């Protein structure tokens, strides 16, 4: 059974600047290299889902510019239905990534066309939502549009997955329609007020999220792994140990790959997390966002070699 995944999200052209470390205030530094690549949390997640075998559709906006044509091309190359990616008067979104030698990154985002998505766009793409198995969104597009999309999804038995990134508070109108939340340590602390610094804090945060109405949670813990808590299962999956070159899109690859493998009841969540963890491990071994996202056969081959 092939999962049908629809992503409401951002499309950004990434400007990747390789630096030894982050500059200090007032300091001028030279870059060792500069690259251009496709990205945006929404695009990354959709391409990860598609490359992992999901039938994927995208809802978003680009500008009438070369960057917009580039981003639509990335989606179409991944065999993603991009008919609900429409033109905005604003320029295509861009991200400026300071990539350090240790593989860590700091990112500045110019929303551009991503911020022009309205309820009218959601209405026009309603069929893409209601016929999906999973609907995914993040916070690089207007929350109001996500609220409308998740409402349509819940009315049609579509499983909703929220990635509250970049980190910000989630309005009740959206939270009440979230089936599964996937968030990192920073996002978890902002949303729950609980600092994720020890194993006990995972349990406390998941319990707090359940009280807030989200009963299924995955907290990604970087190089340590991922903790999950659903209505029927709980556990921790260790991360695969690899040499990290670039963490850009690691979390997005995890989420997109996860959505391609999950069943709608979340009954196979442990197996799906193992798959997603391997996809993410492969991604961090390459530079860039979209260029680093692995194909299904690469993930399966790596899992086979890891004896999973």
Instruction: Enumerate the known binding-site residues for substrate.
Output: 12-14, 40-44, 140, 252
Tokens representing 34 are 């500069």
Between CA 9 and CA 114 the distance in angstroms is 8
Three-class SS state of 251: helix
Q: Are 74 and 43 a contacting pair, CB within 8 Å?
A: yes
- CA torsion 174-177-182-188 (nearest 10°) is 50
Residue among 81, 121, 179, 252 flagged as catalytic: 252
Q: Are 178 and 150 a contacting pair, CB within 8 Å?
A: yes
Annotated binding site for K(+): 246, 248, 283, 286, 288, 292
179 catalytic per annotation: no
Between CA 71 and CA 89 the distance in angstroms is 16
Nearest to 143 by CA among 110, 109, 108, 178: 178
Between CA 50 and CA 75 the distance in angstroms is 9
Annotated binding site: 12-14, 40-44, 140, 184, 220-225, 246, 248, 251-252, 283, 286, 288, 292
Annotated binding site for ATP: 184, 220-225, 251-252
Between CA 45 and CA 263 the distance in angstroms is 17
Catalytically annotated residues = 252
């Amino acid at each position: 059974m092939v999962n049908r995944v629809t992503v409401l999200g951002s499309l950004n052209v990434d400007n990747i600047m390789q630096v030894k470390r982050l500059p200090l205030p007032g300091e001028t530094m030279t870059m060792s290299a500069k690259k251009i690549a496709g990205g945006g949390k929404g695009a990354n997640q959709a391409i990860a889902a598609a490359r992992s075998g999901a039938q994927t559709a995208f809802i978003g906006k680009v500008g009438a510019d070369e960057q917009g044509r580039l981003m639509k091309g990335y989606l179409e190359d991944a065999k993603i239905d991009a008919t609900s990616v429409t033109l905005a008067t604003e320029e295509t979104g861009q991200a400026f990534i300071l990539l350090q030698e240790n593989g860590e990154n700091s990112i500045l985002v110019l929303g551009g066309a991503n911020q022009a998505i309205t309820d009218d766009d959601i209405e026009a793409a309603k069929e893409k939502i209601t016929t999906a198995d999973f609907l995914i969104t993040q916070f690089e597009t207007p929350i109001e549009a996500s609220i409308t999309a998740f409402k349509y999804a819940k009315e049609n038995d579509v499983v909703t997955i929220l990635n509250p990134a970049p980190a910000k508070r989630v309005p009740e109108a959206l939270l009440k329609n979230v089936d599964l939340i996937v968030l990192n340590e920073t996002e978890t602390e902002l949303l729950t007020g609980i600092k994720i610094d020890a194993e006990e804090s995972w349990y406390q945060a998941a319990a707090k999220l359940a009280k807030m109405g989200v009963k299924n949670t995955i907290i990604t813990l970087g190089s340590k792994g991922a903790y999950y808590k659903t209505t029927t299962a709980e556990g921790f999956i260790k991360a695969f140990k690899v040499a990290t070159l670039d963490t850009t899109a690691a979390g997005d690859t995890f989420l997109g790959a996860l959505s391609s493998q999950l069943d709608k009841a979340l009954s196979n969540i442990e197996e799906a997390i193992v798959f997603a963890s391997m996809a993410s491990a492969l991604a961090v071994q390459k530079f860039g966002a979209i260029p680093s996202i692995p194909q299904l056969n690469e993930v399966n081959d790596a899992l086979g070699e890891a004896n999973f």
